[in-house]
Amino acid sequence: MHIETLKVFCDICELGSFSKTAEKNLLSQSAVSQQLAQLEVAHKCQLIDRKKRPIELTKEGELLYRTAKEMIERYDQFRTELNAMARPEKNRVNVGAIFSIGMHTLPAYVKRFMVEHPDINVHIEYLSAAVIYERVLLGDIDVGLVAVPKRDKRLDVYEFEDEKLVVACGTRHPLAHKPQIDIHQLQFERFISFEKDVPTRAWIDGILGRYNVVVRSVMEFDNIETVKRAVEINAGVSLLPESAILQEVAAGALVGVPLANENFVRPTGIIVRKGKVIGPAVRYFIDLVAKTGRD
């Protein structure tokens, strides 16, 4: 029984979709169906009731799902510990950060860390949040920095920066000349959004929802740099971390207008695999960067 097949089965259960499972695992839908069929033949039972929509597990399927999840978690733990044993760089910290944090918030901390620990090498990769979670769990990355961190029993989560949110406008937009904006002034504005699977999108939707503000989402992107480019050409406005647009504001390409209603922020966090064997270098880095370590 291949661990990859069990992972595919668990993805079917969790995503409730053959097409989404195929996309996540870079497979065809036919290949996903074949792997499910192989499991059913091997165990001589039906695992999914194909007559139900959405997908519904049989009792046998529920049993296999619980067992497979435990097996996968134990295998991932094995991978983590094996990687730690094989990695010769005791004085190295492997960090994965989403682009906005890695480029705009993290550098000041890295400079301070390098001054305090000049013998430790900090290796930073700029990745999507989904990839960061996956690679942290696999043990390929020691520390992940993400926005709106999700709670997961397999992860330890530490608070990082609360990033102030401002209304990002092109310089020719009517709102760009206001000293501050009431959030209700965004009602029905053309809005540049993050894609729905980006955690920041749900966070911003929640803020707008609390104030009963409806915006017109005219474009959706999966990264903050493309959002900024769309705002620059006056395609719409957006809510973005102030720290992420400082360069554009200084260059006269964007304007960041504060909101008058309250201090809106986007939380960010540090994620580490729970139970991971952490060396001194990683512990020094977490202690410096984590908000709890700075209070």
* Range 3-85 has CATH code 3.90.1170.50: no
> Residue 288 above 80 pLDDT?
yes
Phi then psi for residue 214, to 5 deg, are -110, 125
ω into 149 cis (within 30 of 0): no
Task: Say what the pLDDT of residue 182 is.
Answer: 97
pTM: 0.69
Task: Say what the pLDDT of residue 54 is.
Answer: 79
Per-residue confidence band for 83, with pLDDT thresholds at 50, 70 and 90: low
Of the options 3.40.50.300, 3.40.190.10, 1.20.140.10, 3.90.220.20, the CATH number for the domain spanning 88-160+270-294: 3.40.190.10
Task: Say what the pLDDT of residue 131 is.
Answer: 92
d(CA 178, CA 194): 24
Phi then psi for residue 121, to 5 deg, are -95, 125
Whether 163-266 and 88-160+270-294 are alike in CATH topology: the answer is yes
- Return mean pLDDT, the chain: 90
> Residue 1 above 60 pLDDT?
no
Domain ranges of the chain: 3-85, 88-160+270-294, 163-266
Phi then psi for residue 6, to 5 deg, are -65, -35
Task: Say what the pLDDT of residue 211 is.
Answer: 97
In CATH, what class is 163-266? Answer: alpha beta
